[in-house]
Chain A
Amino acid sequence: MNALLSVIRRDLLLALRRKGDALTVLFFFVIVTSLFPLGIGPEANLLRKIAPGILWVAALLATMLGLGRLFAPDHADGTLEQMALSPSPFGLLVMGKIIAHWLTTGMPLVALAPFLGLLFDLPADALFLLTLTLLIGTPLLSLIGAIGAALTLGLRGGGVLLSLLVLPLYVPALIFGAGAVEAQIVGLDASGHLSLLAALLALAVFFAPWAATVALRIALE
């Protein structure tokens, strides 16, 4: 457990020393989402209708942007080797890295989402639900993304392959996440979507670190 906390602390400190990396992701999210109201114009009804989908797609792409740096720097300087050699279970340390990735990319997206939702004239309860879906959904994105990042580690052109690999896997999260907000806007019950999203997260928490660990071990051989 100590090793897990120390990995999280180290990655957070590293993100603080390399602020640019985390800020790029945030700015990308902000710019992409704010381009849509500017491009479409002040049609409140249309904006409200497309808001959940756009915010979710932007969050998805922003998370993707940070995935390339999840394991690659640690692979390049040998830290990953030392983690694999640590007496602590490798999977636990990988989990630490995924948690740190969420704290530096996913959580800021969640915090920004309600403000960006205002650009689309979303009502207060929809804003709240949108933030909630992203709060459940972004850890899921980090977990699934970690599998892709581990599988493409050390490959040439890994960045493109990573998107091709991970984006299809993000589809269920997108459908249930954006679907929950859309359902609520048209007056339906959103709890079904939320439960499914949470179930996906529960599943990913168990299996994604394990799968990522296996892929990393293969990359290290």
Chain B
Amino acid sequence: MLTAHDLACVRGDRTLFSGIEFSLAPGEWLHVQGENGAGKTSLLRILASLSPPAAGEIRWHGRSIRELGADYRAQLIFLGHHGAVKEEFSPLENLLFAAHLDEVPLCRQEAQAALAAFGLRGREDLPVRFLSAGQKRRALLARLAVRRACLWILDEPFTALDVKAVAMLSALIERHLAQGGIVVLTSHQSMPLPKGKALSL
């Protein structure tokens, strides 16, 4: 259960948004909408506890995420614009390192299976700089398949993906929601998923 109460974000002397309220129960997802520069990414970074809100509070199962600290971080996965994919490493190395950071045990076979599921079979050992933009995104999104996180915070997850990958990611999100997960995402596309809430900034 993720609840936001009266959230505000200030950049410089400009208030990006204020008075944001929402509450997400297990199985629900939030579609954050807004124009470019409306503060979608800022909201997601606040939700991911990367930056503190100018006002308001976020609670995870009734407790403030500031108090929870590492316990909260262990339950969320945040995929931003850049994606933390190293160009010099192969998708497999990137995925294995991400798993180390997340402190989830992941063996080579599992990682290879996850990458194959994202259509990167045969490219696991190729440095990421030789991959296309869409393949890079796929290498990044493969983390969703291996990490057992309850809360997914995804910033524009559908950018640069082809039709097949979009369908695959939608299916993955749907399965996550069916298992009682919570998803917060920004996207300029409409999402045909059940139990969605929309938030316009």
Contacts and interface: CB of A to CB of B under 8 A. Distances in A.
Interface of A: 2-3, 6, 10, 13-14, 17-18, 76-79, 81-89, 93, 220-221
A99 to B, nearest CB: 16
Residue of B76, B88, B101 contacting most chain A CB atoms (<10 Å): B101
A-side interface mostly:
helix
B81 interface: yes
Contacts of A2: 100, 103
Contacts of B50: 81, 84-85, 220-221
Interface in B14-59: 48-52
B97 A10 contact: yes
Contacts of A81: 50, 78, 80, 82, 84
A74 to B, nearest CB: 8
B116 interface: no
B102 A17 contact: no
A77 B93 CA distance: 15
A76 B82 contact: yes
A82 B101 contact: yes
A83 B86 contact: no
Contact of A6 (B74, B81, B82, B97): B97
Contacts of B81: 78
Contacts of A85: 48-50, 73, 76, 78
A10 B78 CA distance: 21
Interface string B67-91: 0001001101010111111111100
B-side interface mostly:
loop
A6 to B, nearest CB: 4
Contacts of B165: none
A18 B87 CA distance: 11
Contact of A77 (B48, B78, B85): B85
Given A82-B101, A88-B103, A220 B51 contact: yes
A197 B101 CA distance: 34
B98 interface: yes
A79 B84 contact: yes
A6 B52 contact: no
Residue of A6, A85, A220 contacting most chain B CB atoms (<10 Å): A85
B52 A87 contact: no
Contact of B103 (A18, A82, A86): A86
A82 B88 contact: no
B158 to A, nearest CB: 18
Nearest to B82: A78
Nearest to B70: A87
Interface string B98-131: 1011110000000000000000000000010000
A2 B47 CA distance: 27
Contacts of B84: 77-79, 81-82
A94 to B, nearest CB: 13
Given A84-B50, A221-B51, A3 B74 contact: no
A83 B86 CA distance: 14
A17 B101 contact: no
